[in-house]
């Protein structure tokens, strides 16, 4: 898998020769449409129609079998029904075909039989070392090659946006829409069932493609979460990767899995993984393409300071609102800029940002004001708003904007020409020459915001963490081994205490006592007060069964407490299989935090941090991270995202808590889980943060077989 | 003001006769454009150009003065410069003109001189009992009359949407855009400076207008918050009022006030006021018009259950996501519906919701599936998604949808035909016949969601609250009088305790002691432990100065505490003017809540409820309401909106707190503030909620002069 995936996808996107298996003379059949599309797209290599009954199709010599073609074939496109498609794939393998697009449906998406067939197909691809796109896809297009290897009726305008879609219908809709809007693409890929090649392969390929400037994806799920993250992190360092991921809600996820049969993880895991991969997540399809247009045409800004030039107050106020609420800020002009604006604009104009050049502004006033703010070093990007009024000159203004843009190539500039017919020609002019126009303020602002977010994201993709602290792996291994022998999944408190100890995670003293006397002895050794907790593999909710007693301050109370717990538990769960009672020293209360780890089916272990105690469930004030990419700097960011951070910094004159000690506990916990991936759940609740130090008070660990 | 505002605005929207003061022969001048527009719009009444130098303008007889017109004038439109405009208004008054549109700029928006001129103008309108729109506006349009009394170059398509805008530029942009999109309007109003008539007057008028089905507003602020709420509550019971309010962020608000000089309240107060008025708030201009189109053409649904029929999986997943996250739910079909779908759709189709009729669906399959789900009583509204694929029949499908719509007039139906050229004709057909189409799923879903939200809002507009509990107003009056005599704004703890008592708000015992002995006597009377708090009008942050000591449990400690506090305070603020020390009985800790009231410049008193204690600032878990409309049912809703509600219901097996007692404290606090509007701030922090009862532990009241 890994070996294969390192290969370039050249035979798919830029083949020397293509065979269409199932090529047909009948207009309207997929095998006919695909062949026509390849020819019409201007593909320059050899094209071999393959059909057992054929002689010539669409003017090309037809071959009875793939084995008959005169030269080696780089790309085989299979359009025949599923069962025969598998056989055809095998023949392709024998004929030395390098890659396949299987357009045919009727595989995993139709159920068990289809899945079996799909597995067979993948096996063949592996055996013959063929890369495969599909099955159950529309195919792919490349405007550079050029090649239209799909059965879609249209071919995109040439451009620098790569679009990768898990839905074929979204491909056709977007293609149709893009032609009307004049948006160009470098590649257009319909992923289908992703049986072999998946989003990760195509994201990597697009990120290495010199023509592509931005990668847009529509996804319903990812195929192999950890590989995806690994690849996406590298890709997003090279160029922006923007993803719209559907199936975020439960009902949406149901619809998504009935659609493609994909195993869809929870939305939090996607959010976390995308973030740690430097991926920009679009919240709507519109935003996906707004961002696409922006990245396709604009540079990444050096900062978040935006200037607005407008001939109308209302839309400027709206834009200002969005600027302030989307991580951007209104630029403050230098004195020179303000003076120049004051001298040259009418008295009623607003010379501060937003620069309101008033309703009767013609092209010259726009040019002057825009030039002045673009020259200002305090401006990182700019937005020009135009509302069609009596004196307005939309087309002349557009031309002038395009000229100015050439002089300031390092500053993003987008326009918001609002209206219909009155601005239509100007908008067309702007968009044809690489200035995206948005009909309402929100689109323009969210594009600039996306450009800026990307500039920050790139710096902040966390590195893989390899901690250098010492830890006693063998001790942990021993404990796991013993639990496995006992067929226990939940570790005892005394065991988790030892594990924490082996990894340098500070914990209160705790030991497993098997008699009241032993409990008293342990309590005397560690000092009062102590807590007693039942130790039994069957009992998860100890408190509910009366299995926990807190705050015992004398030998007598410990003695009585032990007996009481045993009575409680025997009464309710006589066959629980009790190992004894954990004696734990009670520590002074600190600021209550929680650290937890769960294992996500897609992305592996995810660590959670947040406010602890009784507020956990109520407030859900938590942040998440993949454990694989968790250097201390990232842990600090994670803490800062939560409201618990305010608690740690000290509320109302309290002294701050020892945040580095909390970071250390999280870092060591992450290392533990990385070292022992069999840990399926881990909960430290609470972690106490003190003015000096921090303590993992109660640790629960569950392991899988 | 009130008397005037009760009048109909007939002379403005449907005048018998219009005079244009400043009518001009010169093409391009406002006085010429307005006259032309009136004529071109097909206005049927008399039109009198007024110009001292004129004889005939645009074929109409011109008058030297408004006093010369042959008949009474209903509407005078003033287009001449500000200074002369005021004189013209006076002449209009003398001539018995009933209403004015002052298009002229140069009033409040240019500063002090302009404001003076504007006040003069308003005075004249009041003296002569004329209604005035403007100044500094575009004018208004009415497609029913018909009348274009603006200087905008275009006239909208006839329709049932009233659009009221505080920005003239947004009027022209939207007008231009609407003509391209084919959206029709009943009225189009540019508010300008709102010196006389404002948004409230026009919302009321539109809500009474039989042609108008939905009222859309773009606002930067409201003129008179309490009157606005009063009118909007009535209007939104009659028909949907959707508002896009800009100036939400600080920077936006700055831009807004520099634009119109409007006094803009904070966004929370607008959010609260809109909500209690039954207004739908749009989050973007796009959403404003998406909702406008939906209300303009669709009925209000009976519930939130949505059916989706689609020929493509991807967009259906996206739609499902948005449905679940916007207060709607995916309809579950009855058995009969499912059976019918199973029998008649291809095997690969998804017969549950979303109904996926597969990529090769033609018109007949759409018709069958849509008919089946519309017939289902478990479906309240439906969305049809179409992605252009090889077999798709967009236009035929559109026709069929329009037919089906007639058969199910009570169920909202919107379409999402995605794409460009391939669906263009179909989309035009749908929109021409009253089915709004959205290019992406989010627009369609948010429209249905808006329709549904309106159906719920209407029932939930709270009534004005007139509580029936007894209260001792005179006792409160006395305390206020004394504070006023002392020139104190902040009341003492002992005073707030008495006020609470007078209004039946339960508080711990507290008395003002002026000597250590007296403090001990009070403590003995109320029982230990007690808290001591310095009582001084100058000291706001008592704790910081060592002016508070808690948990005193004996006479000695109270004695020493009193002395200690005095020492602390004298050392730091020797001239503070100390009245003594409040002795307060300390109560057992309950669940910590906060109740507060602030006075908003726009909307009056706003009450806040939320989680109390040290978490207030950190979590900002609070809900807001206008105190005027706060029956107990609304207070309950308010509590349920906060996370404090979970705390009150009982976390982790805790018993629930006495929520009715908390509601009672809020209700009585609101009554207190309504009775004494001079209270400018009130804070009860904490309120303790117990299993039985609740207690206002610490009350702070600030009064204005």
**DSSP annotation string for B275-314:** HHTTPEEPSSHHHHHHHHHHHHH-PPPSSSEEEEEES-HH
Q: Distance between CA atoms of A256 and A275, rounded to whole angstroms?
A: 22
Q: Where are the alpha helices (DSSP H) in B438-578?
A: 441-460, 473-485, 493-502, 516-526, 555-572
Residue B572's contacts (CB-CB under 8 Å, 6 or more residues apart) are B545, B546
- Do B666 and B607 form a contact (C-beta atoms < 8 A)? yes
CA end-to-end distance (rounded Å), chain A: 26
Nearest to A656 by CA among A591, A592, A608, A595: A591
Residue contact A321–B248, C-beta within 8 A: yes
The listed range with the strongest mean pLDDT (A122-126, A602-606, B580-584) is: A122-126
How far apart, in whole angstroms, are the C-alpha atoms of residue B337 and residue B382? 14
Interface of B with A in 139-158 (CB under 8 A): 151, 153
Architecture of the domain made up of B156-297: 3-Layer(aba) Sandwich (3.40)
Please check the confidence at residue A506 and state whether its pLDDT lies above 70.
yes
B1-51 pLDDT, tens digit each: 434 444 678 899 999 999 999 999 998 899 999 999 999 999 999 999 999
Compute the Cα dihedral for A409, A410, A411, A417 and give only its sign: positive
Asked if the Cβ–Cβ distance from A314 to B179 is below 8 Å, we say no
pLDDT tens string A286-313:
999 999 999 999 999 999 999 999 999 9
Average pLDDT over residues B44-59: 91
* Chain B CB within 8 Å of residue A6 CB: no
Would you state the pLDDT for residue A578?
Answer: 81
Can you name the CATH fold of B300-460? Rossmann fold (3.40.50)
- Look at B176 and A218 and tell me if their CB atoms are within 8 Å: no
Min mean pLDDT across A85-89, B334-338, B410-414, B568-572 is at B568-572
For residue A297, the model assigns a pLDDT of 95
Q: Would you say residue A518 has pLDDT above 60?
A: yes
Q: Residue B146: is the preceding peptide bond cis (ω within 30°)?
A: yes
State the complex-level ipTM.
Answer: 0.86
Determine the pLDDT at residue B263: 34
The average pLDDT across B237-253 equals: 81
* Interface membership of B220 toward A (CB under 8 Å): yes
Band (B544; pLDDT cuts 50, 70, 90): confident
The CATH number given to A302-459 is 3.40.50.261
What are the tens digits of pLDDT across the range A320-378? 999 999 999 999 999 999 999 999 999 889 999 999 999 889 999 999 999 999 999 99
Residue A47 confidence class, pLDDT cut points 50, 70, 90: very high
The answer on pLDDT for B639 being more than 50 is yes
The rounded percent of chain B whose pLDDT value lies above 70 is 95
Confidence of residue B253 (pLDDT cuts 50, 70, 90): low
Instruction: Report the residue of B314, B315, B616 to disrupt the A interface, i.e. the one with the largest count of A CBs within 10 Å.
Output: B314
pLDDT at A254: 53
Work out the percent of chain A whose per-residue pLDDT is above 70: 95
Residues 6+ apart with CB under 8 A from A404: A367, A370, A371, A374, A413
Which residues on B lie below 8 Å from A321 (Cβ)?
A: 246-249, 251-252
Query: Which segment of A157-161, A651-655, B375-379, B627-631 scores lowest on mean pLDDT?
Result: A651-655
Residues 360-389 of B with CB under 8 A from A: 387-389
pLDDT for A616 equals 67
B160 Cβ neighbours under 8 A, 6+ residues apart: B184, B186, B211, B212, B213, B214, B296
Q: Taken in order A478, A480, A486, A490, is the CA torsion positive or negative?
A: positive
Contact A388 B172 (CB under 8 A): yes
Give the separation between CA A140 and CA A148, rounded to whole angstroms.
7
pLDDT for B261 beyond 60: no
Angle at B318 between CA B317 and CA B319, to 5 degrees: 90
Instruction: Supply the pLDDT for residue A257.
Output: 47
Task: Find out whether the peptide bond into A166 is cis, omega within 30 degrees of 0.
Answer: no
Q: Which of A212-216, A514-518, B568-572, B623-627 has the highest mean pLDDT?
A: A212-216
What pLDDT digit, counting tens, does each position of B393-443 carry? 999 999 999 999 999 999 999 999 999 999 999 999 999 898 999 999 999
| Per-residue pLDDT at A266 exceeds 80 | no
d(CA A65, CA A70): 11
Cα torsion for B541, B546, B552, B558, to the nearest 10°? -110
Q: Confirm or reject contact between B113 and chain A (CB < 8 A).
A: no
pLDDT at A263: 34
Q: Which chain A residues are Cβ-neighbours of B285 within 8 angstroms?
A: 318, 440-442
With CB atoms and an 8 Å threshold, state whether B255 touches A317: yes
pLDDT band at A253 (very low <50, low <70, confident <90, very high): low
The partner residue sitting opposite B618, judged by closest CB among A244, A324, A647, is A647
Q: Which residue in chain A is spatially nearest to B180 when comparing CA positions?
A: A420
> Which pLDDT belongs to residue A539?
73
Judged by a CB distance cut-off of 8 A, whether residue B255 touches chain A is: yes
Interface test mutation site (partner A, options B32, B179, B218, B252, max chain A beta carbons within 10 A): B252
pLDDT tens sequence across A667-698 = 999 999 999 999 999 999 899 999 999 999 98
Q: What is the pLDDT of residues A605-617, one digit of tens each?
A: 999 999 887 666 6
Query: pLDDT-based confidence at A3, cuts 50/70/90?
Result: very low
Burial of B266 (0-12, 13-18, 19+ CB in 10 A): middle
Helix axes B225-238, B441-460, angle to 10 degrees: 100
Q: Which residues pair with A47 in a beta bridge?
A: A18
Alpha carbons B256 and B265: distance in angstroms, whole number:
11
Which one of B24, B156, B173, B593 would you mutate to disrupt binding with A, by most A Cβ within 10 Å of its Cβ? B173
For residue B189, give the nearest of B13, B50, B385, B380 by alpha carbon: B13
Q: How many CB pairs under 8 A join A and B?
A: 241
Give how far B69 is from chain A: nearest CA, Å: 30
CA atoms within 13 Å, Cβ hemisphere of B291: 29
A646 in B contact zone (CB under 8 Å):
yes
Per domain, the residue ranges of chain A are 1-136, 156-297, 302-459, 473-585, 591-703
Do the Cβ atoms of A217 and A203 come closer than 8 Å? yes
Nearest to A651 among B325, B422, B614 (CB): B614
B376 pLDDT higher than 70: yes
In three-state form (DSSP H/G/I as H, E/B as E, the rest C), the secondary structure along B390-457 is CCCCHHHHHHHHHHHHHHCCCCCEEEEECCCHHHHHHHHHHHHCCCCECCCHHHHHHHHHHHHHHHHH
CATH among 3.30.70.860, 3.10.20.740, 3.20.20.70, 3.40.50.720 for A1-136: 3.40.50.720
Question: Which H or E run contains B170?
Answer: helix B168-181
Interface test with A, best of B152, B157, B166, B169 (most A CBs within 10 A): B169
Pairing between β-strand A355-356 and β-strand A329-330 as defined by DSSP bridges: unpaired
Q: Which residue has the higher pLDDT, B233 or B2?
A: B233
Residues 625-644 of A with CB under 8 A from B: 643
Query: Given this model, what pLDDT does residue A248 score?
Result: 66
The residues, any chain, with a CB within 8 Å of residue B341's CB and separated by 6 or more, are B333, B349, B351, B355, B369, B372
- Tell me whether A315 touches chain B (CB under 8 Å): yes
Q: What per-residue confidence (pLDDT) applies to B258? A: 43
CATH topology of domain B473-585: Dna Ligase; domain 1 (3.30.1490)
pLDDT the model gives residue B268: 86
Distance from CA of B436 to the nearest CA of A (A): 18
What's residue A397's pLDDT?
97
Chain B 568-627, residues with CB within 8 Å of chain A CB atoms: 614-615, 617-619, 621
Report residue A466 as tokens.
């390899």
- Is pLDDT at A487 greater than 90 in this prediction? no
Segment holding B700, helix H or strand E:
strand B699-703
Tell me if A1-136 shares its fold with A591-703: no
Q: Compute the average pLDDT of residues A173-182.
A: 90
CATH superfamily of A591-703: ATP-grasp fold, B domain (3.30.470.20)
Burial of B560 (0-12, 13-18, 19+ CB in 10 A): middle
Q: What is the pLDDT of residues B346-372, one digit of tens each?
A: 988 999 999 999 988 999 999 999 999
Q: Which of A33, A170, A618 sits opposite B314 (nearest CB)?
A: A170
What's the confidence (pLDDT) of residue A617? 67
Q: Looking at the complex, does the CB of residue B82 fall below 8 Å from at least one CB of chain A? A: no
Indicate the average pLDDT of chain B.
90
Q: Which residues pair with B583 in a beta bridge?
A: B511, B532
CB spacing of A316 vs B255 below 8 angstroms: yes
Q: How far is A316 from chain B (nearest CA, A)?
A: 8
Would you say residue B646 has pLDDT above 90?
Answer: no
CB-based contact B321 A260, cutoff 8 Å = no
Find the closest chain B residue to A319 by CA distance.
Answer: B252
pLDDT attached to residue A260: 36
Which residues have C-beta within 8 Å of that of residue A512, sequence separation ≥ 6?
A492, A493, A494, A535, A579, A580, A581, A582, A583
- pLDDT at residue A264, as a whole number: 35
* Token representation of residue B370: 């849509």
User: What number is the average pLDDT over the span B571-585?
Assistant: 83
**pLDDT attached to residue A258:** 42
Mean pLDDT, rounded, for B674-687: 92
pLDDT at B265 over 50: no
Q: How does the average pLDDT of chain A come out, rounded?
A: 90
Q: Does B170 touch chain A (CB under 8 A)?
A: yes
């Amino acid at each position: 898998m890994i070996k294969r995936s390192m290969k370039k996808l050249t035979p798919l996107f830029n083949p020397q020769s293509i065979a269409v298996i199932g090529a047909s003379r009948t207009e309207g059949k997929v095998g006919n449409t695909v062949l026509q599309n390849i020819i019409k797209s201007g593909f320059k290599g050899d094209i071999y129609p393959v059909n057992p009954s054929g002689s010539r199709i669409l003017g090309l010599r037809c071959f009875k079998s793939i084995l008959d073609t005169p030269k080696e074939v780089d790309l085989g496109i299979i359009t025949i029904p599923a069962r025969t498609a598998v056989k055809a794939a095998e023949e392709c393998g024998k004929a030395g075909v390098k890659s396949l697009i299987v357009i045919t449906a009727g595989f995993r998406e139709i159920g068990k039989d289809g899945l079996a067939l799909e597995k067979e197909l993948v096996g063949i691809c592996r055996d013959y070392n063929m890369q495969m796109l599909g099955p159950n896809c529309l195919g792919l297009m490349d405007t550079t090659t050029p090649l239209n290897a799909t059965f879609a009726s249209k071919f995109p305008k040439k451009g620098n946006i790569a679009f990768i879609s898990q839905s074929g219908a979204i491909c056709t809709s977007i293609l149709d829409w893009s032609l009307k809007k004049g948006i160009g693409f470098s590649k257009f890929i319909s992923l289908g069932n992703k049986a072999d090649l998946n989003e990760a392969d195509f994201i990597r390929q697009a990120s290495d493609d010199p023509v592509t400037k931005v990668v847009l994806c529509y996804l319903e799920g990812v195929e192999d979460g950890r590989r995806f993250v690994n690849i996406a992190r590298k890709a997003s360092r090279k160029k922006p990767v923007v993803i719209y991921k559907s199936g975020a809600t439960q009902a949406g996820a149901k619809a998504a899995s009935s659609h493609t049969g994909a195993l869809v993880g929870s939305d939090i895991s996607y959010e976390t993984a995308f973030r740690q991969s430097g991926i920009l997540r679009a919240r709507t399809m519109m935003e996906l393409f707004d961002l696409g247009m922006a990245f396709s045409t604009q540079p990444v800004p050096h900062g978040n300071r935006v200037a607005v030039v407008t001939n109308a107050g209302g839309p400027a106020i709206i834009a200002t609102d969005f600027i302030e609420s989307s991580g951007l800020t209104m630029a403050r002009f230098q004195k020179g800029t303000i003076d120049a604006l004051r001298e040259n604009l009418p008295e009623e104009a607003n010379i501060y940002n937003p620069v309101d050049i008033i309703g009767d502004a013609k092209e010259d006033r726009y040019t002057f004001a825009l030039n002045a703010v673009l020259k200002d070093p305090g401006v990182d990007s700019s937005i020009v708003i135009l509302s069609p009024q009596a004196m307005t000159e939309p087309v002349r203004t557009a031309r002038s904007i395009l000229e100015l843009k050439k002089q300031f190539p390092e500053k993003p500039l987008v326009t918001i020409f609002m209206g219909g017919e009155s601005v239509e020609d100007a908008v067309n002019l702007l968009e044809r020459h690489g200035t995206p126009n948005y009909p309402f303020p929100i689109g323009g602002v969210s594009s600039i915001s996306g450009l800026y977010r990307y500039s920050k994201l790139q710096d902040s993709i966390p590195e893989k963490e390899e901690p250098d602290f010492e830890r006693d792996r063998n001790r942990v291994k021993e404990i796991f081994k013993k639990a496995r022998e006992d067929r226990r999944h939940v570790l005892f408190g005394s065991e988790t205490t030892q594990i924490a100890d082996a990894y340098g995670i500070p914990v209160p003293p705790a030991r497993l006592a098997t008699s009241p006397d032993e409990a008293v002895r342990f309590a005397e050794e560690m000092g009062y007060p102590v807590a007693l907790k039942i130790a039994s593999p069957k009992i998860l909710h100890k408190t509910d069964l009366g299995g926990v007693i807190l705050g015992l301050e004398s030998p007598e109370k410990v003695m009585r407490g032990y007996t009481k717990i045993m009575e409680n538990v025997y009464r309710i769960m006589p066959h629980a299989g009790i190992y004894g009672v954990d004696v734990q020293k009670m520590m002074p209360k600190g600021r209550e935090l929680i650290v937890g780890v769960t294992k996500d089916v897609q992305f592996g272990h995810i660590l959670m941090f947040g406010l602890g105690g009784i507020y956990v469930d109520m407030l859900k004030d938590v942040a998440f991270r993949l454990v694989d990419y968790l250097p201390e700097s990232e842990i600090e960011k994670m803490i800062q995202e939560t409201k618990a951070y305010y608690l740690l910094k000290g509320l109302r004159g309290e002294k701050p808590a020892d945040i580095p000690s909390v970071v250390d506990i999280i870092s060591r916990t992450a290392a533990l889980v990385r070292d022992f991936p069999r840990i399926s759940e881990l909960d430290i609740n609470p972690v106490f943060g003190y003015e000096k130090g921090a303590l993992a008070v109660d640790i629960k660990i569950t392991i899988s077989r």
